[in-house]
Structure 1
């Protein structure tokens, strides 16, 4: 099985609000968060595929700790609509500034690449495009349609922006019928002003809820980072908020500070604490939970989709 992860390698533009005070302590990474440098043949082959197709991903840009493992398996995540974001989130290493015009040939290019790589499951993400009247919703839909045409057997997972103040945008994307609709809350609401200032927590929760209201057959998914100063009870409340929105799949991973200018890591959550979060989340009714220091939103996406589908079938069978 082959999938797709997040990457970009471009010069960064930064907003000053991403900077933190130089006197803030930088915590040393514990042993459980460290990974070996990628050197495998599979990693090199995937890197060559990414380069030769002119693909944009976020694995390299974000310094994802799973890049060696995922690229060795030829897993990756396409990033559409350019490499410049209109938001300046304090955790994110994507360039911030004024984006370029959309590449109208991009949907067909992505479709051809998915077909050529023989992907069983593909993840499509994007930068925020607040400059567009629909936030990029029509472009997302065009990419989904192009993949369906070029690779009809490939299942599609999208990781979208929040489409804040873009009336009708969500409906356009849902109508294109992705198999999985992912939108990450990223952190607990008390952190939004400092970590995700351009977003609104309850808008994001409502976005996920609306997906289910429009098309209950689409799986919904959301993820957060821990280690940003959140309290345990805040994480548990966030789980409840997502379950009220009928979200199927929750991911929880350790936040890693991309540069000294980004929000500092407040704590490294232990593997035991992640196991506890996973156990609690299952009791709250999620079909799938992935919680570990190295969990990332698109990590093992193809395998997880198969498990997610099986979990739904089991639940429906037991309710019959």
Structure 2
């Protein structure tokens, strides 16, 4: 446990922020340049994904780490098609169109890809599917079962949408016993309506709390994007709120604007500021924290004794 208090950590990160000029132009800083993997290693993953006709959030969400992750022969699989029924103002994933019908063969396709890549830790996420009666919860379960059929030893993390707070949907996914249940709160309470259209701060907290009620052994995890105009105090408040509902794993990363149609970046946080935010989370009590400019929800998931 750190000897420095949370109040001192908050002061440190605010002092760092004050060193930035108020008139600074928001150009992409050098510390946000993603790592580049070897072409042959990257193409292996891309070929398998294309061959199987499946999707990854790495591609659909334009993740800055996809080259690094592909070079390590890993990916975060995006279930239920590339079209989301929500229209969050930060997200690159396609939206606003009629989603495709579920592919009944998708679970087996994803399982085949996992097997071909030889993965021991898998992250499954999905678009929001408000058009489905169970919002896709059953599809998560089918995919988990298909993966375990081919690789019984595999550890599976799920990153789910909010299922509109439907406890039956949450219970369905929890019944498949993933090692980690991730649901991103994304931003601070004040900015929820602007950033996460259709989502609610308290609803996200209740989802993570309900998972722990159903199965205390499952690790719960959440993620924050910074750069939307939030304050350090608001971030710390969000961390406290997540901790109170049993969440012990947290990611904090920089929001990057996918296009001019998305929300503009209000601030590029400095690497030292991310280090201080990570220190605040550890002081609060989070057992696993990744905080950095290019950190994303499933970045190096399952490493460092996280689970």
Residue 102 of structure 1 aligns to a residue whose secondary structure is coil
CA contact (8 A) 2:35 2:65 kept: no
CA contact (8 A) 1:26 1:264 kept: no
Question: What is the deviation of 1:54?
Answer: 1.8
Which residue in 1 is equivalent to 2:282?
A: 282
CA contact (8 A) 1:90 1:262 kept: yes
CA RMSD in angstroms comes to 1.5
CA contact (8 A) 2:48 2:113 kept: no
CA contact (8 A) 1:134 1:167 kept: no
Q: What TM-score do you get using the length of structure 2 for normalisation?
A: 0.89
- Aligned-partner Cα distance in 2 for 1:247–1:175: 19
CA contact (8 A) 2:90 2:257 kept: yes
Question: What is the deviation of 1:41?
Answer: 2.2
- Aligned-partner Cα distance in 2 for 1:193–1:291: 24
CA spacing shift, 1:47–1:288, aligned 2, 3 Å:
same
Which residue in 2 is equivalent to 1:49?
A: 48
CA contact (8 A) 1:79 1:124 kept: yes
CA contact (8 A) 2:34 2:294 kept: no
CA contact (8 A) 1:208 1:247 kept: yes
- What do residues 124-160 of structure 1 show as CA deviations (whole Å, max 9, x unaligned)? 0000001112111111111111112221011001100
Residue 269 of structure 1 aligns to a residue whose secondary structure is coil
- What do residues 252-305 of structure 1 show as CA deviations (whole Å, max 9, x unaligned)? 00000000110000000001110101111011111100000010111111324x
Which residue in 2 is equivalent to 1:233?
A: 233
- Where in structure 1 do 4 or more consecutive aligned residues deviate above 4 Å? 36-39
The correspondence of residues 187-266 of structure 1 with structure 2, limited to 5 A, is 187-266=187-266
Which residue in 2 is equivalent to 1:107?
A: 107
CA contact (8 A) 1:76 1:123 kept: yes
Unaligned runs of 5+ in 2: 1-23
Residue 44 of structure 1 aligns to a residue whose secondary structure is helix
- Aligned-partner Cα distance in 1 for 2:266–2:245: 29
Residue 59 of structure 1 aligns to a residue whose secondary structure is helix
- Aligned-partner Cα distance in 1 for 2:138–2:247: 24
Question: What is the deviation of 1:48?
Answer: 1.7
The correspondence of residues 86-165 of structure 1 with structure 2, limited to 5 A, is 86-96=85-95, 97-165=97-165
CA spacing shift, 1:36–1:119, aligned 2, 3 Å:
closer
Mean Cα deviation higher: 129-138 or 53-62: 53-62
- Aligned-partner Cα distance in 2 for 1:203–1:27: 33
Mean Cα deviation higher: 68-77 or 42-51: 42-51
Unaligned runs of 5+ in 1: 1-24, 310-320
Question: What is the deviation of 1:58?
Answer: 1.7
Count of residue pairs the alignment pairs up? 283
- Aligned-partner Cα distance in 2 for 1:116–1:202: 40
CA contact (8 A) 2:56 2:75 kept: yes
Residue 181 of structure 2 aligns to a residue whose secondary structure is strand
